Each structure stands twice: as C-alpha cells, then as structure tokens.
Amino acid sequence: MKKISKKSILSKYRKEALVLLMGSSIVVVILLNLSTPDLKREIASQTEIPILNEPNNETTNAANKVEEEQEQQSVMLSEFKINYAKLLQTKKCLNTQNCDFPDSDPREYNLSVLKEISLKLKVLRPQLISNWFRLNFKVKKEIISSIKLEDGFVKAEILELLNELTLDESQAYLPLVLDEVIDHHNSELIPRAFDFIKKTSTPQNEIQTAKRIANTIVSGGPHMSQAMSRDVSSIISPNTAEIYREALSSLPKLARETEYLTSALSEYELRKSGG
C-alpha cells in the first residue's frame, strides 16, 4: 500500500481527515459523510481503496442479496407479530367468555376457542421454528405454556414444535411434557411425546422419566397404559430396562398392556444384541 504524506494531507485537508500515527505509518480514517469528494478520491487513489460511490458489480450484487434477505426477515417477523397477537387474543377468550364463538353451552364455547388456538399454533409453527432464537423468554414461555390447556390438538401442536426445535432449544421442557402429556389422558399424544423423550433423554434424566412412564403403565387408565406399553420400546435403555421389567411383573397376566410391554422388552433385547 502506498504511503501518504502526513504533511500533504494535513495541509490540504486538515479539517476533513483524522490522522493516526502508528510507528512510521500513517492511517487515514475517512468519515463517510465528508462533504469534499476530492478528499475521498485523493486518499482512495493513494491507498488503492475503491471509491465508495463507485462500487463494482460484485459488491453491488452482494449488497443487494443482503438487503433482500433482510427484507424477507423483516416481512417474516412482521407476519409472526401479527399471528402471535391473534393467538394471544384468542387465548384471552377462554377467560373472558365473551368472544364470537358458538356459546349454546360453556363446553361448546371452550372447545371452539381451543380449536381456534390449535389452528393458530399450526400457522405460527414454521415462523416459530425460524425465529425461535430471536424470541425473548416471555414469548417462548407463552407459546410453550399452551401445552397446559386441556385440549389434545393444542398439546399436539406444542409437541410438534418441540420435536422440530433443536435439542438445546427444547431439552429444558422435558419436565413440562411429562406433567402435561405423560400424566394426561390423551393416548394419541404418546407417539409424539415418546419422540420428544427419546430426543431429550440423558443418563441424568432417563431413570426418573422411566419411573414416571412405568407408573402410568401400571396404574394409569387402560388407553394410556396400552399406548405407552405398545410404543415404549424405542426409549428403553440399559439404564431403564429393569424399571420396565418391574412394571411388567405388576401387570395382570392377561391384560393387553402386559402383552404390549412384553413385546417391547423383547424388541429392546433384540436391538441390544444387534438383531
């Protein structure tokens, strides 16, 4: 890089340039809002820096691409804010009980509101996945807490979301899933819940999780017990197999859940042996 004469710069552009001495070299910091175009050209020509108001095609294309991506992100965030506001508004209808939903009886009204909440979560899910790392804690908590609502479709939407988020983003919600799904009465949620449990399982949490599941298999309702017994094979591990064997010994011999859990343990043993 060609050196610039300190004397020439200071004498000609004393007010327009800031000169910093670094050893024997001179670094000229150009302010982008300089009103003297000759100064920019002078320094650019001597330091081989492209003139800012004459970018090459490659620079222009890169800048345009960045601008387009920023515009797309801005549009997505705007859509998310609108859809999120609609979700909050709909959730409030459960408390106010005076929104425009069928209301021949309280049960019909609540079911209609919950159905609308599940639909809004479905619309939001792709936007949530794309922007999760941008969202603050309050928004994330509001979304995930929807799993506490007494509706299988709403719970299913939250499970779908959790299964699509990364492990780091979703692992903290395992206790909530155990409370709101494993201890719930909707057996159709079990495959999604077990996918999430398998995803977030660690040596530190799998034993406690297995005890919760085994307890439901033994003492839960028949639909939940059978659903868990049928699908549990995928989450049995060397650390938890004995817990499920103990649960099996507590089940009635001719019960359907006994058949399912026996099969699940056999599948685990076969998998462990490499079969």
* pLDDT band at residue 73 using 50, 70 and 90 as cut-offs: low
Average pLDDT over residues 23-32: 39
Domain ranges of the chain: 6-47, 75-200, 205-275
Count CB atoms within 10 A of the CB of residue 266: 11
Model confidence at 104, pLDDT cuts 50, 70, 90, reads confident
Q: How confident is the model over 192-200, as a mean pLDDT?
A: 96
Beta bridge partner(s), residue 28:
19
Instruction: Give pLDDT tens digits for 210-221.
Output: 999 999 999 999
Average pLDDT over residues 86-104: 92
Contact 102, 108 (CB under 8 A): yes
The pLDDT of 139-165, averaged and rounded, is 96
Q: How confident is the model at residue 106 (pLDDT cuts 50, 70, 90)?
A: confident
pLDDT-derived band at 273, boundaries 50, 70, 90: confident
Looking at residue 30, its pLDDT comes to 40
Taking 80 as the threshold, does the pLDDT of residue 15 lie above it?
no
Q: Map tokens 């868990």 to a residue.
A: 228
Tokens of 47: 């330091």
Rg of the chain over all Cα atoms, to the nearest angstrom: 31
Average pLDDT, rounded, for the chain: 81
pLDDT-derived band at 89 (thresholds 50, 70, 90) equals: very high
Task: Provide the token pair at 116.
Answer: 């609308």
Residue 199: both structure tokens together: 């995803």
